[in-house]
Structure formats: C-alpha cells, structure tokens
Structure 1
C-alpha cells in the first residue's frame, strides 16, 4: 500500500508540475507523521533501534523521493517483502516535492527488542523496536488527553534539525501540532475554555521551532491542530484539539484561552506570554 502511495504521489506531482504549477505559481509537497524516537539507553542497540524506528516511520516515504530507494535497513530486515522500484519509477520519483510537511505531536523512547517477552505494537514491530514513554521511573514528558501522546517540546526541534540534515534543508512546514483534551458527553464548554495546558504546549513547541530556525532550518510555516474540535479518528468526539470549543449538539463555538493567546501571539502582542515562565519565547 505504501509503495503505491509513494508512486501515486510522484505521478500527481509530475502532472501538477507539467500542467498547473507555472500558471498557479504554487508549491507541492508531501506530509509526514513524524514522531521523534529517542534511544531509551545510550547503548549501541538502543541507538540503532531509534534509527530503525525513524526509518520505518519517516524515511520509508521520504527516502524514495530523495534517494530513489527505500532505507537500506528496511531492505535488510524485510527482504523480498519490501517492493522495489524500476529504473523508470526511480526517474519519476526524483525531486518530487517542493517542501516537506511535518505532523509532529510527540516523542517516545525506543528500545531494541528481539525477545518474545517484548510486547511490540504492530506499527513498530517490523523494526524490532519497543516504544515506551518512561525511563528510570520518569516520564518523557507531560501526558495529554491522547493516549501515548506526551508533550515533549524539545522533540520537535530534533525532528526539524534531523530533516534539515538528511534532506538537504528542503523547505519545511509544521502542518500539524497541537494538544488534546479528553472529554465525555457530560462535560460542557466551561470545563474546557481555560486551557492553560494547551497554551503552554503551543508556546513551548514554538520555543524549540524558533531555536531550529536560528540554527539554519528552512522552516517556513506552522499550523496548529486545530481551529475547532472535530472528529478525531478512532477517538471520535472524545478528544478535543481545537482552539475553539464545539458543542457537538448545537454546533456552538466558544473561543478558548488558547485561541485568544494565539491570536495575540500572531499579532505580536507582548501580552502573549506563556502561563508559566520556565521558557521564554522571542518573536
């Protein structure tokens, strides 16, 4: 399926560039869901596990476009189960994006796992990686409403800088980044509007994006997920990512504290400070 997605992307970009791009003066790219994987321990095994997780998570889709083939570690581990590209397909894939879109929410630890006692989820199983959010009794970040999504602001800078180095500092956009609140049907707008945790989340992630830009990353935009609460995949209406609260029965929308804070930030207001003061955002 992924193989066909990659070739479909290349075909769509080829058509767009031939018939539409010059007229519209627009850019076309691809969006990658980019969790950052940090080695659980500073051992060779865990460092390699983190690299494998990155390969199966991000390089899988980007390497064919930049280098004409899948990551070598995927080929080593999957063998003939991993499809191959023909010479014609490799030509089609070449330089088939103007930017990389990055959906980044969280960071996790990666541990090398080949033992039957390891409980590996389906997503990381082929990479032989065990993912965990805890090391020596300490959580990697602050839990959010989304299970397994922890607020780890420094992870977004690591993703951006890694993309910068691996893919020749191709222009990047953060196409999704946001904070989720858990909810149930008995809760009202009043339970959600004072979302200081979301303000802190956005503020702190912007701190590290600011740092990446200062270090030379060609990062050109940032988009919060999301403007309003909506239907979130398997979680349905039980998770709320919006800057505005939505009453799903009446469709009434109520701006949260985060909406007002973000508006002030975009306008350059000096009152747009974090709710806490352990990080300082320059803008």
Structure 2
C-alpha cells in the first residue's frame, strides 16, 4: 500500500453562466474517472472528535477563542460534538458500507503534545493508532492532516504561535513525530492585532513550517515509507463581475491574495508579483536558503473548493487604513444584474457554482504547471434545525454533488492531474463559528443522542461508487 501525508494549512478565512460543463451530471460515477481515482470523505479533529478537555488533550487556540460569549450560536463548543473519539468504528463502518476508499481526518496537535512540545500524551497517540488501524482493517485508506485550525494554546501563550518564527521548528518536530509514529500506515498523505502586517507574518511562518516538515519527511522517512507529502489550501473561485479590464485585474488580485499567497511560493519560490507590488515592505521575504527549502515543497496539492464569487474593482482611492483585505482593492458580489451566481446553500457565502470548481482546477493546471491535485473538501449545508425527515431527504445536496463531480470530470478529461475527491463532510458536526446551526454531513446526526442516520446523499454515493 502506498502512503501519503498531507499538511493542511488552515487560516480562518473563508473569506453569466460561464461555460456549462460538457458532461451531464447524471452520468457521473466511479467509472467516469480514471482507474485508481480516490473517493473519500473528510472531517477535522475539533469538529468531530469530542473529548476536547479529556483524554490528556491540551487546549488549542480554538478552545480559547470560542469562550467569548455570543461568538458561536448558543455558545456551542466542540467539547463533545459527535464523539467520534468513542464512535470511530461506527463511522468507519459506514464509510466502508458506502463504498468510500479513504478518510481525510486531522490529527489534533494538542492531543499528541498537550503543551505543543515536550511530553507526549500516550493516550492521544493510542487513539490515533486505533483509528488508523481500524481504517486499514475496513479497507479505508487514511489521509492524515497535521493542522486544521487547532494550534496548541500553549504555543500561542509561549511565543504568539504563528506570529513567531519559533513555530517553524516546533511544527516540524510535531510533524516528524507523526511521520515516525503513524507514517508507516497512513496512506501516504499528508496546517486582535496589526492587520497590516500580522496576516503576512502568520502566512510566512505557516509556509516555512510546511516546508520544514516536508524537508524533514523527505530526508528521513520518504524513501522508506514510499509516501508523498503536500499542502491543502482553500480556493474560492473569483470571477470578474464584468468583462472590463479593471474587474479582470481585481479578480486576479483576489486569486493572488487567496490561493497564490501560499501556492506561488511553494511552486516558484516567491510571493505573487501582485502581492509584492501592493504589500511591499510589509510582506516578509524568504532568505536564499528558505527559498531552496520552500520551492518545490510538495508532491501534491490539496484544494478545498466549495463555491465562487463575483469580484469587481471598487474604483476608489487607496484606503486610508491598510490591511490584508484592504490590500486586495477588490469587492465581492453574489449577483450579476440581479441574478445570483448560483442557488444558495444555508451558509451565506456558499452558492452552487460547479463551473467555479472547473475554473479553479484548470487555473491551477495552467498557472502552476499541472501539479498532482486532490479535491480535499467539497460540499454544501442545510440549516441545523431542519426537520429529521427533510434532513434525510437531501436531494439538493445530491444535485450539488452531481454537478460538481461533473465539473471535476470535465477538468480531468481536459488534462488536469486530479487523483482524488473528498466530500465534506461524512457527518453533521460542530461547524466552527456556526456551531450546530449548519449541517454539511451526508450522514444526519441527532445532536442530542448522537445517533447517525445516512441521508439520501450517502446512499447516492454508495450507488455511484460501486466497485463493479
């Protein structure tokens, strides 16, 4: 079995029909894609595990963040969420029954190292060993992500976390521990201040942390484990609102400041020229040695792709206050001439725009040398208070998945080197700032009893993913 580690870089930013896909959504199935194409589901540790303050786990920055009253609806937390920590066998059994090949889960850094460094939490390590071993037992390939928003709080308190270069060494050490401990089995896959400078410092240290972990893996583990390593990035597609040159340039700025911010350095060794010209001295620079480490620090690219937005040039003077979002000098819209860009899901930012996925994948193919790509997250949500009956009868979600997989098939047919697709999410769960008011799962979870009920979309996946 091949093995693969991926590192998820998680930033808390989610922040015309343009060519319909040429393949009908109804025709999409496993056999529509190349042999060996991987289909899986995805979750993250804090959203599904539970046991947030038990089992030896130390607090993460998210545990502290959501203590602010009113920040999350009903002041909800991930303390219990859907309790996958105890129910992982049931969940993996469902994946296998639904014909999925893989599970993209995340490892909680603070469950392994409660203080970020130093003493290892053996109970946490034992949990991930049980989880991975049971996946393999059921024929589910583990895709382990090493960072999904949950930096250990101890590191934040010690040296301000991602704002300090010290995090690079600590993250590399944590990553190496995971390579050494879990890498022999995980499918080889593998994360209130000054807004004018701090986002760029954080991103710079994230990129260096990723590159240092990749370097450590390649030097010490890759030859023996035969794995691949990569990075996962969010990529909303930004479409110009009009055909004007100004709107086209604004959309390109948005892409550069969003996905190019991370992808450009690891492919070309520098930030996009657009960012360099706008941010100037506020943008950190890589040393010559860092460029050598960062450039080419991936075997594959993971893309989280959900939706698309229109972008237009605001035609205003430069803002008086500088900051990351101000630097874009671009505004977003979800309508063109009064017509929505696509049907809206429950979340305010999420519209069904399958051609946006096609354009995002082709953009990476053409602009970044057609790297190996996995679609690491894709899905839509219903309101958390939807009735049980309506929640199970999720035909809208089925139509979403049909259209997005058809768009993905078109990009593959046109030469994009995409090797896998992961639906978000297996389960309804704790959805960050939305708490339990949003349901992304293909499996309905009764948040009171935690009982699981596969939705129609789950059975739809089971049908289209039949091996024969």
What is the TM-score of this pair, normalised by structure 1? Answer: 0.90
Deviation at 1:143, TM superposition (A): 0.4
Matches within 5 A, 1:141-160: 141-160=342-361
Matches within 5 A, 1:1-283: 1-115=202-316, 124-184=325-385, 187-267=386-466
CA distance in 1, matches of 2:326, 2:433: 21
CA distance in 1, matches of 2:221, 2:210: 15
Distance 1:169 1:53, change over 3 A: same
Is the CA contact 1:53–1:124 (under 8 Å) kept in the aligned structure 2?
no
SS of the residue aligned with 2:419? strand
CA distance in 1, matches of 2:324, 2:454: 36
Unmatched tracts of structure 2, length 5 or more: 1-201
Deviation at 1:191, TM superposition (A): 2.8
The C-alpha deviation readout for 1:83-109, integer Å capped at 9, x for no partner, is 111101101112100001000000000
Query: Higher relative CO (CA 8 A, sep ≥ 6), structure 1 or 2?
Result: 2
CA distance in 2, matches of 1:141, 1:125: 26
Deviation at 1:183, TM superposition (A): 2.0
Is the CA contact 1:33–1:104 (under 8 Å) kept in the aligned structure 2?
yes
Is the CA contact 1:124–1:130 (under 8 Å) kept in the aligned structure 2?
no
Misfit runs of 4+, over 4 Å: none
The C-alpha deviation readout for 1:210-268, integer Å capped at 9, x for no partner, is 10011001000000000111111100111101010001110000010000001101016
Across the aligned residues of Structure 1 and Structure 2, the Cα RMSD in angstroms comes to 1.6
Equivalences, count: 264
CA distance in 2, matches of 1:113, 1:80: 24
Structure 1 range deviating more: 245-254 or 124-133: 124-133
The C-alpha deviation readout for 1:176-195, integer Å capped at 9, x for no partner, is 000111123xx442230000
Is the CA contact 1:189–1:254 (under 8 Å) kept in the aligned structure 2?
no
Unmatched tracts of structure 1, length 5 or more: 270-283
CA distance in 2, matches of 1:64, 1:7: 10
What is the TM-score of this pair, normalised by structure 2? Answer: 0.55
2:53 corresponds to which residue? none
